[in-house]
Structure 1
């Protein structure tokens, strides 16, 4: 027993603590592995609504990283194919990772301008929507970390709106919200624009009530819905606020409006 307890003096050059819980590499723990995550979410929200002869896209101007505000004016809406000679009729909104959004915008804008120079006419919003889908799909193994919405005026003069997932799947819709406050805004749009859970009074009893048919809303009503949606979202979401950028697309061109939002 005495021999077991007699361990001898501790050398002065040896530490009195253990390296077991540190990140230094050793034979027991192996080499330290460094992680790399290339994406971040810069907050904000966008939405789009179409009408009979117009399309409206809107997005807030706040840029965040977690609980920090990077900037109070970072646009999320961009004119596509605007070369100064003829006003653009296509708008792209991107929300998510701001760097990927800018890169996607630059690439699509260049393709639309090259198309015009090669063919002598502007690209249609339908063709632009298909081309954007191809761009996103080509990057599917390292995708653009954004939710894109494309709006414009189609060949029939009607408002067109296309929403995308990060790898290029898309569909044409009457309204769509994206970004941090999408879960707050989209139910509101479903009720007020798509008339979900709205029924015709006196059309029946209980489940026999007839649903209210969809219709194109006038521009002033849509503008009011857009402002109401973002005003309510800023009350509930810290990543949305500061300013509201609105693009109104018609056959005459694009009108831009800036509306102040909450700044706290």
Structure 2
């Protein structure tokens, strides 16, 4: 029953020493809501989390492949994969399937080797970019303009190159995520019920939840 859902929204914001990844818990296809309490966020490594939108069966298959390859990496290197390394692995995995791609649009977030927040955004065939914030899914057309207005990420073409991390504090970033989801829920029928927010920082991972509209 859950294999054919296509709709969901996810957001990630990178800060100086934290990363916030969030997704709503509604799973739906067409005008049918299949479940109102489904997590779309997957922890891939100790300091790396992925939120995915798209076709549910492909998302599950992709998570399974990444989990297996991470396990092999741990056996070979006796350590967890870093977030930038996982970002490259995800890109390679998607590109390998480019002729019959996973219908999955992902946002990867976590902490890099220096402890800075990092966010990587992807298309379906593995092209990716490190950014300060990103959104995927049916609500992204409503969420991204809001984030652009609030965060004003510097252009990568400007010299000298500026850090992509956002200037917000951790609590401000969490509040912003709650605001953008509350806003998107008013206009997007595929976003709603509840938002799951995962916060990564030096002390570990914690989760917060906020109720959204249920109609």
Tell me whether the two structures share a fold, i.e. TM-score over 0.5: yes
1:113: Cα distance to partner?
A: 2.1
- Map Cα deviations across residues 109-144 of structure 1 (whole Å, 9 max, x no partner): 221122112111111111111111000001111111
1:253 pairs with 193, 196, 204, which one? 204
> How many angstroms apart in 2 are the aligned matches of 1:259 and 1:103?
28
Structure 1 residue 66 and structure 2 residue 30: aligned?
yes
Alignment partner, residue 30 of structure 1? none
1:42: Cα distance to partner?
A: 2.3
Q: Give the 4+ runs in structure 1 shifted more than 6 A.
A: none
Instruction: Name structure 2 gaps, 5 residues minimum.
Output: 155-164
Mapping for residues 111-190 of structure 1, pairs under 5 Å: 111-190=69-148
> How many angstroms apart in 2 are the aligned matches of 1:191 and 1:40?
34
Higher RCO structure (Cα 8 Å, ≥6 apart): 2
Aligned-residue Cα RMSD (Å) equals 1.7
Report if the CA contact (8 A) 1:78-1:91 is conserved.
yes
Report if the CA contact (8 A) 1:92-1:151 is conserved.
yes
> How many angstroms apart in 1 are the aligned matches of 2:120 and 2:42?
15
Alignment partner, residue 189 of structure 2? 238
1:98: Cα distance to partner?
A: 1.1
Structure 1 residue 76 and structure 2 residue 40: aligned?
yes
Instruction: Name structure 1 gaps, 5 residues minimum.
Output: 1-38, 82-87, 197-213
Structure 1 residue 92 and structure 2 residue 50: aligned?
yes
Q: TM-score of the superposition, structure 2-length normalised? A: 0.90
| Structure with greater helix percent | 2
Alignment partner, residue 55 of structure 1? 19
Alignment partner, residue 202 of structure 1? none
> How many angstroms apart in 2 are the aligned matches of 1:233 and 1:56?
18
Report if the CA contact (8 A) 1:174-1:194 is conserved.
no
| Structure with greater strand percent | 2
- Map Cα deviations across residues 68-123 of structure 1 (whole Å, 9 max, x no partner): 10111121101113xxxxxx211011111111111111111221122112111111
> How many angstroms apart in 1 are the aligned matches of 2:150 and 2:139?
17
1:195–1:135 Cα change, 3 Å: closer
Return the index of the structure with the highest Cα Rg.
1
> How many angstroms apart in 1 are the aligned matches of 2:139 and 2:4?
16
